A and B are shown apart, each in its own frame.
Chain A
Amino acid sequence: MTNSTNPTDPTPTDPSAHRLLLDPALLGDAEPGVDAGAPSGPLLEAVEIHKRYGRNEVLRGVSFEVQRGDVKAVLGPSGSGKSTMLRCLALLEPIDAGEVRLEGRIVGVRPAGSGGRSVRLPEVELAHQRRDIGMVFQRFNLFPHLTALGNVMLGLTEVRGRSKAEATDIAGAMLERVGLGARVRFYPSELSGGQQQRVAIARALVMNPKVMLFDEPTSALDPELVGEVLAVMEELAREGMTMVVVTHEIGFAKRVADRVIMMDEGQIIEDGAPDEFFASPRHERTRRFLEAVN
């Protein structure tokens, strides 16, 4: 981390005065992702999402909403549908029923004919909508043929239409902010897991998304490298980024999340503020899960 504040300090700093990661002047787009004048209502909504692979129904009617600037932690055992849900929200997987809404607008599909039916948008239009949604993967998925700088630049040049010179400046500044200023010329294979994941966060962040989705961002890391990634995410949360974080890091969820969701067998079985969620879970399944991971 480049900031001097204690990453575990929950006191929010004034976001406009002290923005390390979300400086609007240095993001890949003119309009800032955290916009005070934006319309009210939930930023991201899942409405009765169903998803099946063959005969296996992975998501069985998932609904929730994320308010602007909120951090939503998603807990649950493996196979409960957490990652699938995130991929559906990122428009990377078609859903079988339900809706994904971003700022109130349905994304991923367009209406088809009568009776409220809809069809998935063609891939080029989906690509356009995905620019507003940042995604960080469990296994980083950095591009091995590009340097750290190249990884962060690619979206700027290919998607945002920035010139190479502009993209180099923006990407370099962003890598500096996640503490990797000295590593810009390194290839992913020459970086530690924690460094790779920070590059991946910078790669998503530099596109100036409206929401960031994290799919178990620290699960593939050696224990001593988890902290540096969580510190970047906490800074991001403090600066007002809207985030959905699938995680097994209970400590992170307690400290940073505004809401915590428990998923089991393709459904949300509990959705509450962290205090009550962890202190007195209503659902027996949640209680057993928390005991198991603690």
Chain B
Amino acid sequence: MNFDPAIFWQALTSQQFRDGALIAIALTVAAQLTAVVIGLVLALMRASGNRVLGAASWTYVWIFRAIPTLVQLLFVWNALPQLIPALREDWFSPFLAAWVALSMNEGAYMAEIVRSGLLAIDDGQQLAARALGMTPRSVFRRVILPQVMRVIIPPTANEFITMLKITSLASAISLQELLTYTQQSISITFRFAEYYAAAAIYYLVIVSVFMVFQAWLERRFLWTSQRGDAGGLATALRGKGAR
């Protein structure tokens, strides 16, 4: 059996693959953004100096990093509705279950990334801000957070890409994402190479778009007056050397 370009092209342009890819992207963005918020809260709890909050944050990270992601996903989809009757309704969809499971899992990793970002900020920054008479809230929002953002962009972009690939785990809970369609198509046609190749192309394209976005974001955080067009998308596409 040879590689049939026609089947490959048909798969690549099919409605199902496009829908599957869109679901994968939607799940990735939703879960990762939620995870950033969870990670931020956990990291702040850890840095607060409050023993109870710190211990709670540590325990969360411990549990959610230790248990395999697939187990967490299956737990949320299969076990939670048994424990909580309200989740037996139709609205508790595979997408929602995957969103909850993946963002809670990823939140533990993001907590460590944000924590390293907080540790990277020189102590003199909060001293100078407090000396100006800024309130703790103001110090965090205007001085600490913008600097933490810059530090955590590269590792968070990494997590984003990892998240895209982890969404394929959700095929185990019948979410109709890219890998689910791939496997369904293969089970009918047995054309492994063509369908896997088509799926691979989708992942490549999606990750490439993420990377362009990352480059654009990093340029926005360059903090230089020599930025030319203020970090536009076109400049990001031309690469870092372009000025």
The answer, yes or no, to whether A19 is at the interface (CB within 8 Å) is no
Q: Is B131 within 8 A of A135, CB to CB?
A: yes
The answer, yes or no, to whether A141 is at the interface (CB within 8 Å) is yes
Q: Is B146 within 8 A of A145, CB to CB?
A: yes
Q: A92-B127, A145-B146, A145-B150 are in contact. Are A130 and B133 (CB under 8 A)?
A: yes
Q: Closest residue to A144 on the B side, CB-wise? A: B223
Which of B135-143, B171-179, B183-191 forms contacts with chain A? B135-143
Residues of chain A within 8 A (CB-CB) of B200 are none
Q: A92-B127, A141-B125 are in contact. Are A155 and B132 (CB under 8 A)?
A: yes
Partner of A92, one of B130, B138, B146: B130
Q: Is A155 within 8 A of B143, CB to CB?
A: no
Q: Closest residue to A130 on the B side, CB-wise? A: B133
The answer, yes or no, to whether B128 is at the interface (CB within 8 Å) is yes
Q: Is B122 within 8 A of A127, CB to CB?
A: no
The answer, yes or no, to whether B224 is at the interface (CB within 8 Å) is yes
Q: Which of A41-100 contact B (CB under 8 A)?
A: 87, 90, 92
CA–CA, A189 to B150, complex, Å?
A: 15
Q: Is B225 within 8 A of A137, CB to CB?
A: no
B 108-145 to A, binary, CB cutoff 8 A, 1 in contact else 0: 00000000000000101101111111111010001100
Q: Is A128 within 8 A of B133, CB to CB?
A: yes
CA–CA, A185 to B224, complex, Å?
A: 9
Partner of A159, one of B134, B146, B223: B134
Partner of B132, one of A139, A144, A187, A204: A204
Q: Is A90 within 8 A of B131, CB to CB?
A: yes
The answer, yes or no, to whether B93 is at the interface (CB within 8 Å) is no
The answer, yes or no, to whether A143 is at the interface (CB within 8 Å) is yes
Q: Closest residue to B146 on the A side, CB-wise? A: A145
Chain B interfacial residues counted at CB < 8 A: 24
- For chain B, what secondary structure do more than half of its interface residues adopt (helix, strand, loop), or is it mixed? helix
- For chain A, what secondary structure do more than half of its interface residues adopt (helix, strand, loop), or is it mixed? mixed
The answer, yes or no, to whether A259 is at the interface (CB within 8 Å) is no
B 157-183 to A, binary, CB cutoff 8 A, 1 in contact else 0: 000000000000000000000000000
10 CB < 8 A contacts A-B: A124-B136, A126-B130, A130-B132, A131-B133, A137-B128, A145-B147, A147-B225, A155-B133, A155-B134, A159-B134
The answer, yes or no, to whether A190 is at the interface (CB within 8 Å) is yes
Q: Is A159 within 8 A of B133, CB to CB?
A: yes
Q: Is A123 within 8 A of B135, CB to CB?
A: yes
Q: Is A137 within 8 A of B127, CB to CB?
A: yes
**Which of B130, B131, B135 has the most C-beta atoms of chain A within 10 angstroms of its own C-beta?**
B131
Q: Is A123 within 8 A of B133, CB to CB?
A: no
The answer, yes or no, to whether A154 is at the interface (CB within 8 Å) is yes
CA–CA, A144 to B212, complex, Å?
A: 25
Q: Which of A183-220 contact B (CB under 8 A)?
A: 185-187, 189-190, 200, 203-204, 207
Residues of chain B within 8 A (CB-CB) of A144 are 147, 223
